[in-house]
Amino acid sequence: MTVSSEARLGALIPHIPSLEERARALQADTTTPADQGAIEGLRDDYLQWYAQCLIVVPQALQAKFCDFYEGGAFTKRIKQFLEAPTQRNPLVPDDPSVAPNPLIPYWSNPIETTFVPSLLGQRQVLEEALESERSGLGETTAHVVEAACRRLPLAIRSMQRRHADRTPIVITDEYDVQDLLRTILVAMFEDVRPEEWTPSYAGGSSRMDFLLKREQLVIETKVTRSGHEARSIRDELAVDLLRYQAHPDCKILVCLVYDPEGLIDNPRGFEQDVTGAQGNITVRVAVVQGG
């Protein structure tokens, strides 16, 4: 099985606290020399981790990621720390009776100015790459889900033409639409979570129809009927969006508006009015007519 870039990035981040802890241990005591095996072990493990990161960090972020390791003539970073983590600053006097100058660090490559901030910088790059990977995954999935929603009338007509004159499966309300859409989604995605609670808003909470957690995508269904047409659907979506803004796994909302009787006069105009960025959520609306 091929491991996704998202999974590999996610697996690299948890190694960071251990690397930092081991590096701190090397400079924890100025009176006892650090174990050479611990120094070499940290160096080997970090460089192996660093090489694995370079395989999955996007090209656009690689220079930034590498700079946190390489450093330069005037900026000491991880490379300089690993080369001499226990080298004493030559400005520190040999005589222990001389009071240390608080402005002069004991180590030539102090962990707090070389290793730690650079490692945290690399973590930020990995998290940025991970967020970018998830965003791209979500956008691709949104296109796929929207396309599936637009073909819903074909699925409904197919269910009405059953083998050996069996009773047709009829879609009559929003719950039927949800059942049909769930059947389609579980055939396409491994992790489809129905009826996830959204966080509380204005003293109440509600359920979203479907959540694709890995893709950070929510699918909502609406069905028009007499008295519940374009204005009502738009108002419901406005309330839904206020709730979804606080949900950590909702970055994209795909809303299927099933309009079997054509009660929305201008379906493409309705889609354009609502589709787009709404706060921290990207909204895609598909008005599907006929059935």
The pair of structure tokens assigned to 12 is: 């690299």
The pair of structure tokens assigned to 167 is: 């009773």
214 Cβ contact partners less than 8 Å away, ≥ 6 residues apart: 6, 134, 137, 191
Describe the chain by its helix, strand, coil percentages, rounded to 5: 50, 15, 35
The candidate with the shortest Cα–Cα distance to 201, out of 234, 156, 246, 146, is 246
The pair of structure tokens assigned to 234 is: 């738009």
Angle between helices 115-150 and 5-12 (to 10 degrees): 150
Question: Pairing relation of β-strands 217-223 and 193-197?
Answer: unpaired
The answer to whether 146 and 287 have CB atoms below 8 angstroms apart is: no
pTM over 0.75: no
Quickly list H helices, the chain.
Answer: 5-12, 16-26, 36-56, 59-70, 78-83, 115-150, 152-160, 174-188, 230-244, 267-274
Q: d(Cα 42, Cα 48) in Å, to the nearest integer?
A: 10
Q: Which long-range contacts (CB under 8 A, 24 or more apart) does 269-273 make?
A: 270/230, 270/233, 270/234, 273/234
The candidate with the shortest Cα–Cα distance to 233, out of 283, 172, 166, is 283
pLDDT values of the chain reduced to their tens digit, one per residue, 291 residues: 345 788 889 999 999 999 999 999 999 988 888 889 999 999 999 999 999 999 999 998 999 999 999 988 789 999 999 999 999 988 888 777 777 777 888 899 999 999 999 999 999 999 999 888 877 778 888 999 999 999 998 888 888 887 877 887 788 888 888 889 999 999 998 889 876 666 644 444 456 689 998 888 999 999 998 888 899 999 989 888 888 888 888 889 999 999 999 999 999 999 999 899 888 899 999 999 976
The answer to whether 65 and 57 have CB atoms below 8 angstroms apart is: yes
